[in-house]
Amino acid sequence: MSNLSTESFVIQEDQGSSLWQDAWIKLSKNRLALFGLAVLVSLIVISLLTPLIAPYGYEEQNLDMGATAPSLQHWLGTDIFGRDMLTRIMYGGRVSLMVGFIATAVALVIGILWGAIAGFYGGRLDAIMMRIVDVLYALPFMIFIILLMVVFGRNILLLFLAIGAVEWLTMARIVRSQVMSLRNQEFVEAAHSLGLSQWTIIRRHLIPNTLGPVIVYTTLTIPSVMLLEAFLSFLGLGIQPPESSWGLLINYGVETMEEFPWLLIFPGIALSLTLFALNFLGDGLRDALDPRTSKD
Amino acid sequence: MYRFALGRLLQAIPVLLMVITVTFFLVHSAPGGPFSADKAVPPEVIKALEEQYNLNQPVWKQYFSYLGDVVQGDFGPSFKYSGRTVNELIAAGLPITAELAFYAMLVALIVGISAGVAAAIRPNTLQDYLPMTGAMIGICMPSFLLGPLLVLVFGIYLDWLPVSGWGDLPGDKILPSITLGTGYAAYIARLSRGGMLEVLSQDYIRTARAKGLSERLIIVKHALRGGLIPVVAFLGPAFAGLLAGSFVVETIFQIPGLGRFYVQAAFNRDYTLILGMTIFLSTLIILFNLLSDMLAIWLNPKLRHEIEGAK
Amino acid sequence: MAILEVSGLKVYFHTRNGVVKAVDDVSFSVDSGETLAIVGESGSGKSVTCYSLLDLLPKPPARIEGGTALFNGRDLLTCTPAEMRQHRCNDIAIIFQDPMTSLNPYLTIGEQLIEPLIYHPDKNKIQTRTDAKIAAISLLDEVGIIDSQTRFDCYPHEFSGGMRQRVMIAMALITEPKLLICDEPTTALDVTIQAQILELIKKLQVTRNVAVIFISHDLGVVAGIADKVLVMCNGTVRETGDTDSIFYNTQNDYTKKLLSAIPEGAKTLPNRANTDETLVEVTDLKTYFKNQLNPSKDEDKRFVKAVDGISLSIARGEILGLVGESGSGKSTLGRTILQLAPTTEGSVKFSGEVLTGLTPNQLVPWRRKMQMIFQDPYASLNPRMTVFETLSEPLLYHGLANKNNIASHVRQLMDDVGLAQSQLRKYPHEFSGGQRQRIAIGRAIATKPEFIIADEPVSALDVTIQAQILDLILNLVEKHNLTMMFISHDLSVVRYISDRVVIMNKGVIVEQGDTEALWGSPQQAYTKDLLAAIPLADPKSERARISNR
């Protein structure tokens, strides 16, 4: 048909712009989302480096000093045991973020698998799987988690599992609906008609197109999980001393808020700011990955 | 429509059964009985108490006898509050928590929907950015942070409003309701904004405009019904969340409602109280979910016709 | 006497990409009782022009940069919102393209009908609900809705597409406007319904003495009803004049291009069918789907019988046209033949081998030999794969090329379908609809198949692009000796391309035969109706046909 062996001249190929690149361009124009990203990155870095950069030891008490307002030696003040609040907040952040990421990861794995299988195979399998999701959705999870925490002790591992077990439901729903709508798209049909194997279709055609909503929802799940952990810790059912998380710190702060308001305010700001940043990042990602909004 | 409701109610029964069973066995599998955490109590006394409350029976027997009681509406006596039954305690706390949840929901719906609709009417202007930033703050400031802050500012510094009790002092219902409702107001604001924006970009809104209807009429009569669908869908989970949130709010504001009882019961290992309250709250949530599902269907003529049978 | 005079209209869209001159210096006029057709392809600015008259454009990006639009002397472009509401009610009405989405699904049609009357901005014209209801019901009768009393309280989803459009027309005319703008009102409708709606509009225009602006991309549709024609392209007016001059005597290049792009008449290329060899044989094929929405005990209603007993055969080298209106099952038939939809009963044979019942693995070698071109160029390509990846996938998967020679194979394909090789690394969203369809065609011919099913491959394209793609398809069929099944609802296109035609309705074959024979003397009533409803780009015969009804 044609001369396949030699090319007599090289054709200049234009560089295409993938949807990911477009999304990044859109995202970088959203200042709030960039702020969120910056906060997230800083938090992760600080949390990882905390043991190295915290001004004081975590356990370091100074009972003589007691609770003091913010000063040059203690930027965020000290608590009633004389422990430096900045250090406490940094360590607390480590725990809160860790819970956030790990529990989200649990929810992610279960949710994606569940949703993808239900969405891909459809039919009765899908009906059964989603029925289970619906039923679980209707249960008062908060109550169950509280029970679990009370009954089995306040085990941090259990905390991850319990929180993850709540969040995977919505992830499963999102993934399933995305997979189902993709399944009916003509390019998936085309892949079928080309004779590609199920696995190839999943790998090359379904997964890359599902990543968008998954990424958005993951980014939005992390703050939701952190809130849940803080809520439980506040009630005394989450992280237990000597570990502390922001929720626990807020709990302590409430107890003495009249005399030492900074013990409540600073952990509060830390938590709110983080949630703020992550939510804006998630919103920004959602807009950026939406093919309908233009990048220009 | 009624058959649909009946069908859903019937479907709810096995769910409820599962809730009861899971809760029951969870609670009973906790290490240590309800009395072992107490300060030193002589073993003979413990034994006597256990016999009194049937705790020395095999778990299966306990389960079925409990089930029998529950079906008759009897949740049994409280282990910790001696002399009072669970039914009594629930009846005492329910009206208070119900009122709190009601006011909070009111705050959430009124503030949330107005903010969301206002934002959607003039997108990307100040009328949009202000409420939505406020909403974001509301979402990111959990009730256990907002509550104490409000107490600090309005109760202690400014001394305008009372900070504890419910119904004892005038105005003591304000702060708790706001605290509980704010997070949901924020969420509802975002949902309504999203829903309204989606609807306002629909073709039939353009048709309504082309017919010469006023903007106000278009928004209220044409856009609102479709735009608030996400809010209606959210009502069920919102109710469940309000109940959970009441745990915190009642603790902070010293309100003698169900929430506070529940947390304490969990700590005290008051089996019957935990069980009774879990079942009761779960039933409420399931019922509420059913109601909001039915509302969603009723609002959509196409779905309504499908459920009622094709014409 | 002109009731509308537009001069020098300029509407620009200020996007972050730059300024898009949607309408650039457009002028025209409409006399009372006259029908003006505004014709153009997508992006020509025809809709934007009319929306600007009623202030229906989204104002942040859109801005009216100049010009006037005088309606009975008053400039529509500079009036206040209150005045505009008056205009919308009293003077100008508009009906839109998609009747499914243009009506509020949450309100009864009766409620939507009486709204202009009970909320009239002119205090003197406000009517009571009872009066308004009477007016609405009589208008429903006038537009042909039977049982109007009961239907008044029905919801939009209880009407079919054609009925909904009638309701829209009633809604537009209820305040007795002097000008009716119709924005592609029949594009989303089946061809027989389209003919009915066109007649209705013509009839109403005469009885109510309304001026009409009819927007369309289809010259055939407007041929019978327009008095004047305005041809637009890229925001500017290319030509304007009375209908006969435009259709029969145009000197304008663009208009000529538009007219020549319309498929007309019989297939010109010779029939290469080898009647001795049957490539595809369908026997008693049935494809039923479970009715998800309305599970009922009634046996008949439990299943959607998309394909209900079809037998046909396609000879090698033949192009078979499959025609049907929406819901006829033609797409499902195509998919079932290709084993992309499950067969309920019956069999499909390819080259003598039975395909029905084979497992996916057993089907793989057959898949190479039969391919499909899909309708929607926006959905048939994986948005996250470059052109190169899309085209190389089938070649690499079936072992027809390896890492070393894949590039040359793919470049050859690009040449075959008429795309520049420099575009290989681009993504689907960077191409136009026509170009995407070329890519899809390239993918279909990559494995050198013997049989291709084209499912409405040009329905989503502009008419000039449509012509190009049709020619491309015909060329490729010639060049690669392909057998093809061409599915479409557009009869003119089918006639242009097919040797034989099968007419399908409600899952069964109504009639089949050689194309010209069928066109010359259709036997079944359904076929006759279908053929009679085709709009031809010939004003004189169209007018005659409409007045004959």
Mean pLDDT, chain A, integer: 82
d(CA C223, CA C209): 20
Residues of chain B with C-beta less than 8 angstroms from the C-beta of A141: 240
Q: Which residues pair with A84 in a beta bridge?
A: A78
Burial pattern A31-62, b for ≥16 Cβ within 10 A else e, equals ebbeebbebbeebeeebeebeeebebebeebe
d(CA C400, CA C36): 56
Give yes or no for A77 touching B (CB within 8 A). Answer: no
pLDDT computed for residue B177 by the predictor:
92
Residues of chain B with C-beta less than 8 angstroms from the C-beta of A280: 136
pLDDT computed for residue A38 by the predictor:
92
d(CA C101, CA C122): 28
Phi, psi of C21 (to 5 degrees): -90, 85
pLDDT computed for residue B224 by the predictor:
92
Alpha carbons within 13 A on the beta-carbon side of B179: 30
Contact C427 A18 (CB under 8 A): yes
The mean-pLDDT minimum among A3-7, A259-263, B167-171, C482-486 falls in A3-7
d(CA C514, CA C495): 10
User: Of A273, A59, C104, nearest to B205 (Cα)?
Assistant: C104
Give yes or no for A145 touching B (CB within 8 A). Answer: no
Residue B183, both tokens: 């997070």
Contact A204 C382 (CB under 8 A): yes
DSSP assignment of C492-522 equals HHHHHH-SEEEEEETTEEEEEEEHHHHHHS-
Does the pLDDT value for residue A185 go beyond 90?
no
Residue C516, both tokens: 């010209």
Sign of the torsion formed by the C-alpha atoms of C431, C435, C440 and C446: negative
Does the pLDDT value for residue C149 go beyond 50?
yes
HEC string of B188-221? HHHHHHHHHHHHHCCHHHHHHHHCCCCHHHHHHH
Place of tokens 């392909």: C482
Q: Please name the member of B19, B142, B282 whose beta carbon is closest to the beta carbon of A230.
A: B142
pLDDT computed for residue B39 by the predictor:
55
Mean pLDDT, chain C, integer: 90
Residue C107, both tokens: 């309100």
Does the pLDDT value for residue A7 go beyond 50?
no
d(CA B203, CA C183): 13
Contact A12 C368 (CB under 8 A): no
CA C202 to centroid of chain Cα atoms = 21
Pairing label, strands C62-71, C228-233: unpaired
d(CA C67, CA C75): 10
The answer to whether B142 and A271 have CB atoms below 8 angstroms apart is yes
Sign of the torsion formed by the C-alpha atoms of C66, C72, C73 and C79: negative
Mean pLDDT of C435-450: 94
pLDDT computed for residue B311 by the predictor:
34
Contact C56 B210 (CB under 8 A): yes
Does the pLDDT value for residue C476 go beyond 50?
yes
Residue C296, both tokens: 């009922």
Residues of chain B with C-beta less than 8 angstroms from the C-beta of A230: 142, 144
Q: Please name the member of B152, B247, B286 whose beta carbon is closest to the beta carbon of A235.
A: B247
Residue B122, both tokens: 């003039």
In a mutational test of the A interface, the residue from B13, B133, B145 whose CB has the highest number of chain A CBs within 10 Å is B145
Does the pLDDT value for residue A80 go beyond 90?
no
Residue A9, both tokens: 């001249």
Secondary structure letter of residue A12 according to DSSP: P
Contact C56 B305 (CB under 8 A): no
- Return the SS3 of A270: helix
Contact C93 B210 (CB under 8 A): yes
User: Of C71, C90, C76, C72, nearest to C177 (Cα)?
Assistant: C90
Q: Which amino acid is at A131?
A: R
Contacts of A260 (CB under 8 A, 6+ apart): A67, A69, A77, A79, A80, A253
Residues of chain B with C-beta less than 8 angstroms from the C-beta of A142: 240-241, 243-244, 247
Alpha helices in B141-270 (DSSP H): 143-150, 174-200, 203-210, 215-217, 224-227, 229-252, 258-268
pLDDT computed for residue C210 by the predictor:
93
Does the pLDDT value for residue A6 go beyond 50?
no
Alpha helices in B253-300 (DSSP H): 258-268, 271-299
pLDDT computed for residue B106 by the predictor:
94
What is chain B's pLDDT, residue by residue, as a tens digit (311 residues)? 677 778 878 877 887 887 778 777 777 776 666 665 555 566 776 676 666 666 666 777 777 777 777 777 777 776 666 667 778 888 888 888 989 999 999 999 999 999 999 999 988 888 998 999 899 888 888 888 898 888 888 888 888 888 887 878 878 888 899 999 998 999 999 999 989 998 998 999 999 999 999 999 999 999 998 899 889 988 888 888 888 888 889 888 888 888 888 877 777 777 777 778 888 888 888 888 888 888 888 888 888 887 776 43
pLDDT computed for residue C267 by the predictor:
76
CA dihedral B153, B156, B162, B165 (to 10 degrees): 100
pLDDT computed for residue A4 by the predictor:
44
Burial pattern C74-112, b for ≥16 Cβ within 10 A else e, equals eebbebeeeebbbbbbbbbbbbbbbbbbbbbbbbbbbbb
The mean-pLDDT minimum among A254-258, C226-230, C240-244, C330-334 falls in A254-258
Mean pLDDT of A238-259: 84
Does the pLDDT value for residue C8 go beyond 80?
yes
Residue C512, both tokens: 């089949």
d(CA C246, CA C228): 9
Q: Which residues pair with C487 in a beta bridge?
A: C322, C455
Residue A210, both tokens: 């599902």
pLDDT computed for residue C326 by the predictor:
85
| H or E stretch covering C12 | strand C2-15
User: Of B147, B170, B145, nearest to B160 (Cα)?
Assistant: B170
- Return the SS3 of C175: coil
Q: Count Cβ atoms below 10 Å from residue B118 Cβ, excluding itself.
A: 18
Higher pLDDT, C20 or A137: C20
Q: Which amino acid is at C30?
A: V
In a mutational test of the A interface, the residue from C289, C368, C372, C384 whose CB has the highest number of chain A CBs within 10 Å is C384
Distance from CA of A196 to the nearest CA of C (A): 7
Contact A194 C382 (CB under 8 A): no
Top-ranked range on mean pLDDT: pick from A196-205, A237-246, B265-274, C494-503: C494-503
The A-side interface with C (CB below 8 A) comprises 1-2, 4, 7, 11-20, 185-187, 189-198, 200, 204-205, 208-209, 291, 294, 296
pLDDT computed for residue A3 by the predictor:
43
Q: Which residues pair with C12 in a beta bridge?
A: C21, C63
The mean-pLDDT minimum among A114-128, A221-235, B1-15, C335-349 falls in B1-15
| pLDDT band at residue C293 using 50, 70 and 90 as cut-offs | low
Distance from CA of C94 to the nearest CA of B (A): 7
d(CA A157, CA A177): 30
| pLDDT band at residue C296 using 50, 70 and 90 as cut-offs | low
Mean pLDDT of C275-302: 77
Residue B283, both tokens: 């039933």
| pLDDT band at residue A123 using 50, 70 and 90 as cut-offs | confident
SS percent in chain C: helix, strand, coil, step 5: 40, 25, 35
Of all residues in chain C, the percent with pLDDT exceeding 70 is 98
Does the pLDDT value for residue C229 go beyond 90?
yes
Give yes or no for B3 touching C (CB within 8 A). Answer: no
Report B:272-311 residues touching A (Cβ under 8 A): 274, 278, 281-282, 285-286, 289
